[in-house]
Amino acid sequence: MPLVLGVDSSTQSTKVEARDVGSGEVVGRAFALHPPTQPPVSEQDPQSWWIALVDAVTALGAYRDDIVGVSIAAQQHGLVLVGEHGEVLRPAKLWNDVTSAPQADRLVSELGASAWATRCGSVPVAAFTIAKLAWVAEHEPEVLDATRKVMLPHDYLTWRLTGRHVTDRGDASGTGWFNPVSDTYDLELVTAAAGGPVDDWFGRLPTVLGHADQAGELGGEAAQALGLAPGIAVGAGSGDNMAAALGMGMAAGDVAISLGTSGTVYSVSATPTADDTGAVAGFASASGEFLPLVCTLNATKVTDTVAGWLGTDAAGLGELAMAATAAEPPCVLLPYFDGERVPNLPTATGTFFGLRADTTREQLALAAHDGVLCGLLDGLDALKRNGVAHQGRLLVTGGGGRSAAYRQRLADLVGGSVTVPEVDEAVATGAAVQAAMVVNGQSESTEVAQAWGLRTGSTVEPAADATSVREAFASCFDSLFA
């Protein structure tokens, strides 16, 4: 049977998923790890992503013979600079590299937050590609002078597959130099960050494809390395959050909370947003619409860290949290272990409040989970303030979405139902959806989502009233940062 291959190239690993084109049945999965990073400096060699992709696809074995299409989804915002002969000029600065915070501040100060929100849908912070480009311009101008192609992580892998320098509007909308309303580059924003004539930048940026466009065909060298047939279709690809929305079959009004290395809360919307506070990033979706999104730097890494302090692992910490007796007032963690993106606090650190001599390991475990979730629910409030409708499902996904503790506490904190999608790897699935659209000549991802049954899932209901926890979190934040 013909198969499509969806790729999720994240900060931590490459995951691949082979699915039947017609039914969406998963027939094979594999993964390979990436080199670890440690903010505030977070960089990876893009070649390591390619090696991981080759290793993961190779592990699919004979299933590779039936693959007729592939699409790449990858971590957003990373800056890849390529020279005249196709060489990568320096390690890619990733989304969670916060060394570019001064450059982001300068850009916002010079043009004004409102102008940025109007022109590219978002106010740049350290995570955005444009801030990283400004950092290179300031610290490594010789690298910038040698740059002939500017890419995002998914662009780089698509280029390795096809030889074409292309991107999609979803991932492009996270650069800080693309207008998702007009679907055009704003090259004056690039020159504000990196200098030089506007004309010099036009040729360095990838061609922006539509969500249903084909990026090209798999080239011979890449096909040989991957063990796939040359000439198979390659989709436009997208950023990881955009692909995850496809993988969960999200419709307008649905909201997803994703718990991974970073945390995100986002919704599919028919209308754009422009939040001059910088909290909501006005991204484009991978379905031709918009994807307003709030991102926090600190998510499952927080609970992993606290688990280590308590001599257990993530699963063990979840068990401790679910066994906790609620304290009044509650123990609260502001979880800014690696600084923070929203709120924009790149130099902040984590802080516990309400510790007492009788505070238990269980209460510390609960505070760790609640701290991560409260930060993301503040992001949901920001979406609502910007007119984003939430009349649909509240989904929880990502690695942390598999945790019973995270699922239950999310339902408790919102005081309502939470849907756990049946799909395991939403990003890889979304990339597979895109590959299927290209193979089938379809323009709407909803057609694939319906055929594959991607909107199914289980429901978690509240088991406790955690209203006081959100109130305490807000009070503790105000005591430090108001």
CA torsion 15-130-123-35 (nearest 10°) is 30
Q: Do 316 and 343 fall into the same domain?
A: yes
Domain final position from 240, 275, 309: 240
Return phi, psi of residue 123, to 5°: -100, 120
Q: Do 214 and 326 fall into the same domain?
A: no
pLDDT of residue 449: 94
Mean pLDDT, to the nearest integer, of 243-248?
96
**240 tagged catalytic:** yes
Q: Do 213 and 268 fall into the same domain?
A: no
Return phi, psi of residue 68, to 5°: -115, -5
The DSSP bridge partners found for residue 25 are none
Q: Look at residues 9, 157, 159 and name the one whose alpha carbon lies nearest to residue 95.
A: 9
The DSSP bridge partners found for residue 7 are 16, 72
State the CB neighbour count (10 A cutoff) for residue 93. Answer: 25
pLDDT of residue 200: 83
Mean pLDDT, to the nearest integer, of 230-242?
97
| Run of H or E including 93 | strand 92-93
H-helix segments, 360-453: 361-385, 404-414, 426-440, 445-452
Confidence of residue 39 (pLDDT cuts 50, 70, 90): confident
Q: Do 64 and 7 fall into the same domain?
A: yes
Mean pLDDT, to the nearest integer, of 142-167?
98
Domain final position from 240, 259, 284: 240
The whole-angstrom separation of Cα 56 and Cα 61 is 10
Considering the domain boundaries, does residue 378 fall inside one? yes
Q: What mean pLDDT, rounded, does the chain reach? A: 95
Q: Which tokens go with 3?
A: 């198969």
pLDDT of residue 199: 81
Considering the domain boundaries, does residue 465 fall inside one? yes
Q: Is the pLDDT of residue 311 over 90?
A: yes
pLDDT tens digit string along 160-173?
999 999 999 999 99
Check which CATH number belongs to the domain holding 68 and give it. 3.30.420.40
Considering the domain boundaries, does residue 434 fall inside one? no
Q: Is the pLDDT of residue 464 over 90?
A: yes
Domain final position from 188, 208, 240: 240
Q: Do 218 and 262 fall into the same domain?
A: no
Q: Do 479 and 355 fall into the same domain?
A: yes
Considering the domain boundaries, does residue 435 fall inside one? no
**Active-site option among 8, 168, 186, 240:** 240
Considering the domain boundaries, does residue 427 fall inside one? no
For residue 404, give the 3-state DSSP assignment.
Answer: helix
pLDDT of residue 404: 97
Q: Do 305 and 358 fall into the same domain?
A: yes
Mean pLDDT, to the nearest integer, of 40-66?
97
pLDDT of residue 341: 83
Q: Do 271 and 234 fall into the same domain?
A: no
Burial category of 16 from C-beta neighbours within 10 Å (exposed 0-12, middle 13-18, buried 19 and up): buried
Distances (CA, A) of 427 to 157, 310, 342, 394: 15, 31, 22, 17
pLDDT tens digit string along 75-120?
999 999 999 999 999 999 999 898 999 999 999 999 999 999 999 9
Q: At what angle do helices 129-139 and 187-194 cross, to 10 degrees?
A: 40
Answer for the pair 146, 93: CB distance below 8 angstroms, yes or no. no
Considering the domain boundaries, does residue 161 fall inside one? yes
Q: How many domains does one find in the chain?
A: 2
State the CB neighbour count (10 A cutoff) for residue 464. Answer: 13
Confidence of residue 427 (pLDDT cuts 50, 70, 90): very high
Confidence of residue 326 (pLDDT cuts 50, 70, 90): confident
pLDDT of residue 210: 93
Which residues, at least 6 apart from 223, have a Cβ–Cβ distance to it below 8 Å? 229, 230, 231, 232
The whole-angstrom separation of Cα 293 and Cα 87 is 33
pLDDT tens digit string along 434-460?
999 999 999 889 999 999 999 999 999
pLDDT tens digit string along 352-396?
999 999 999 999 999 999 999 999 999 999 999 999 988 899 999
Distances (CA, A) of 64 to 25, 28, 247, 350: 15, 10, 21, 45
Confidence of residue 33 (pLDDT cuts 50, 70, 90): very high
Q: Do 226 and 267 fall into the same domain?
A: no
pLDDT > 70: what percent of the chain? 100
pLDDT tens digit string along 198-221?
888 889 999 999 999 999 999 999
Q: Do 264 and 126 fall into the same domain?
A: no
Q: Do 71 and 138 fall into the same domain?
A: yes
Give the end-to-end CA distance of the chain in Å, rounded to a whole number.
Answer: 59
Q: Do 222 and 279 fall into the same domain?
A: no
The whole-angstrom separation of Cα 250 and Cα 266 is 10
Q: Is the pLDDT of residue 174 over 90?
A: yes
Considering the domain boundaries, does residue 69 fall inside one? yes
**What's at 387, amino acid-wise?**
G
Answer for the pair 392, 253: CB distance below 8 angstroms, yes or no. yes
For 58, the domain range is 3-240
pLDDT of residue 276: 93
The whole-angstrom separation of Cα 392 and Cα 267 is 10
Comparing 64-78, 305-319, 442-456, the range with the smallest average pLDDT is: 442-456
Considering the domain boundaries, does residue 15 fall inside one? yes
pLDDT > 90: what percent of the chain? 90
Which residues, at least 6 apart from 275, have a Cβ–Cβ distance to it below 8 Å? 117, 122, 123, 281, 282, 292, 382, 386
